[in-house]
Structure 1
Amino acid sequence: MTGITRRAFGRIAGLTLATALVTAGSAAFAEGEKIAVITPYLSQPGTQFYVEAFQARAKELGWEVNVIDTAGDVAAVISRMEDVSAQGVNAIVLNVDPAQVGAGLDAAVAANIPVFGMDAGADPRIKANITSNGYAMAAETSVYVANRIGGAGKVVMFVFDAFPPVQVRGAVADAVFKNHPDITVLDRVTPDVSDGGIADSRAKMEAILAANPEPGSIKAVWAAWDQPALGALQAIEAAGRQGEGIVITGIDANPQARDAIAAGGNFEASVAQDFQGIGATTADTVARVLGGETLKSNVIYVPTKLITSSNAKD
């Protein structure tokens, strides 16, 4: 995405965390390694940021990194995993649901190649998944919505259950909204993300607005990530319904979302993931394992932060 700043990408805290996780011995061992990073989601800003952070840290470690984008084709990830396993890379980093690429994981295991998740999901064949705590992020934004609308009204949810880090966010938000008997989930929408997600989210929100024309008929939009939230915002503004006070929340706090939140309109809150921290921590975790360390946990969480108009410009 062009024309955006790298505020979220450049967090010093994430870099400090990532650097602290690597030892001198593992860094030395890792030099010269060949690493494959495979994802179908490189069109998403968050994925772009932590892949770039991984590449930056890998360069410091002296690695050769091959980033493979299957452009939304999850099935193609399997064949690419099989390809790089046959080529004898030293490690594979995935950004995809492990449950959907089992044959690729089997190929890596057979070739004795360690696999790591970078905002992926858990699987016994994956050494570690480095990610944000999706449960906590979804709880924070869904509770924000529930409080802002006074525990009553109709809410539109944008979800993506095909990807574990996003699926858990929807599950948590579902639970929070069900805990408020006067909140009704009007629609649970899965947008097409092949173009990044904004355009289709806008189109789907436009249809929902048209079906619910009365002011106050929609109290909030909860989105599992920022792209649908931005699409919903565009639809609400295009329909001239921004004055109804429809509350919008997202997750990621990408630069475009931060700008919308700072403007003080309907998009009120998101949660900033430390994309640099995820990318750098993934690289350091790979180095630790290649250096012979046995990890104590197969999930490593990188801290997050709620973003509202009070800190959107930080």
Structure 2
Amino acid sequence: MSKLIGRTVALFAGIALVYSALPAMSADQIVIGFSQASSNSAHRNTMTKRNQSYAAENFKDVKLVVTNAEGKSAKQISDVESLMVQGMKVLMISAQDSAAIAPTIKQVMAAGIPVVTLERSLDTPVTLHVGPHNKPIGKLAGKFIVEKLGGKGNVVEIKGDPAVAPAVERHDGFAEAIAGTAIKVIAETHADWDQEKALKFMEDTLQRFPAGQIQAVFTHNDNMAFGALRAIQAAGRAKEGILIIGIDGENAAIRSVDKGDLTATFTYSTVAPEGVIAAHALATKDTAALEKLGTLTKKPDGSMEIEIASNMITKANATQFFCKGFGDDPECK
């Protein structure tokens, strides 16, 4: 505890020192900090770019300062502390490690700076969380598999990074949906949202379980779904009709669902431009702007949440979602 207090005192002393050395800013300028977890996926990059573009085009009173933790929790802590020094009025953050960043977020909140979490919730109270609900998505994926397989079959689950809420919640929802059925998870791993890790794991799993022993693969994002698909196709086992379900609603995944390679995906908002709109609304105390983003829920601890709905995409409705996702798609202008 004494170390934490000492670190906090040192941080605020540093903030005061640097503030005195910073050039004067316009009194009307709103500095919004955006701490991004990484830039190793289309989802992350789209979140960053769309928020930046919207702020530049619509909020002339905003200076949006973006940092990239590069997948490292220690760097994200340092990034947030640096944003405090730069005088941010609101913090937007998508956490790399929910537990690791929590003490720093407590310091930000204690300094009276509103915090907006984007699609990755934290266990510590923040001002506002914006994003889809992950457990219901996992539950819908599980119910879909149960229905498609008639309540019986073997499933491989390829999970995301266990350090963040989406992976935990998607798994919990999925497990809840298949409980009490004859659906069995015969192999599982944390591939940390990475396609190559998912590919390697699926290659090994296909060798362990010969033809006819795997009926479905549930992956926590589309990137890993493509890894599983590549392994299945390379092994010559696509003809088995193994169901492959992903999450995110990438444009490429939606096309793949329509083609019949992937079985289903779920839209998962990049919270862009909703993130910067919410941050600007908090900075300007514009409650009406928050309410326009979605259903605004106020919690007993004083924090707020705006849920962004998710949609299941199958071959039956894939064409309705063409070019409405994110990521590369040559047919989208």
Q: Give the equivalent residue in structure 2 for 1:165.
A: 166
Q: Give the equivalent residue in structure 1 for 2:307.
A: 301
> Partners in 2 of 1:31 and 1:114 — Cα distance?
18
What one-letter code is carried by the residue in structure 2 that aligns with 1:178? A
**What are the ranges of 5 or more consecutive residues in structure 1 without an aligned counterpart?**
1-29
Stretch deviating more after TM superposition (137-146 or 107-116) = 107-116
Q: C-alpha displacement at 1:273, in angstroms?
A: 2.3
Q: C-alpha displacement at 1:192, in angstroms?
A: 4.1
Between the two structures, name the one with larger relative contact order (CA 8 Å, sep ≥ 6).
Answer: 1
Q: C-alpha displacement at 1:217, in angstroms?
A: 0.3
Q: C-alpha displacement at 1:95, in angstroms?
A: 0.5
1:95 aligns with 2:90: no
1:108-257 to 2 correspondences below 5 Å? 108-160=108-160, 161-180=162-181, 182-193=182-193, 197-213=194-210, 215-257=211-253
- Give the TM-score of the pair, scaled to structure 1: 0.82
**What are the ranges of 5 or more consecutive residues in structure 2 without an aligned counterpart?**
1-26, 288-295, 299-303, 321-333
> Partners in 1 of 2:38 and 2:171 — Cα distance?
19
1:38 aligns with 2:35: yes
Q: Give the equivalent residue in structure 2 for 1:55.
A: 52
What one-letter code is carried by the residue in structure 1 that aligns with 2:83? V
> Partners in 1 of 2:154 and 2:168 — Cα distance?
21
Q: C-alpha displacement at 1:205, in angstroms?
A: 0.4
What one-letter code is carried by the residue in structure 1 that aligns with 2:177? V
Which of 274, 282, 304 matches 2:275?
A: 282
Q: C-alpha displacement at 1:155, in angstroms?
A: 0.4
Q: Deviations over 1:190-211 (max 9, x none)?
A: 0144xxx111100100000011
Q: C-alpha displacement at 1:293, in angstroms?
A: 5.4
> Partners in 2 of 1:31 and 1:150 — Cα distance?
61
Q: C-alpha displacement at 1:179, in angstroms?
A: 2.6
Contact preservation (8 Å) 1:98, 1:121: yes
- Give the TM-score of the pair, scaled to structure 2: 0.78
Larger Rg over CA atoms: 2
What one-letter code is carried by the residue in structure 2 that aligns with 1:171? D
Q: Give the equivalent residue in structure 1 for 2:317.
A: 311
| Identical pairs, percent | 24
RMSD: 1.9
> Partners in 1 of 2:247 and 2:283 — Cα distance?
33
> Partners in 2 of 1:87 and 1:260 — Cα distance?
44
Contact preservation (8 Å) 2:119, 2:131: yes
Contact preservation (8 Å) 1:78, 1:103: no
> Partners in 2 of 1:270 and 1:310 — Cα distance?
12
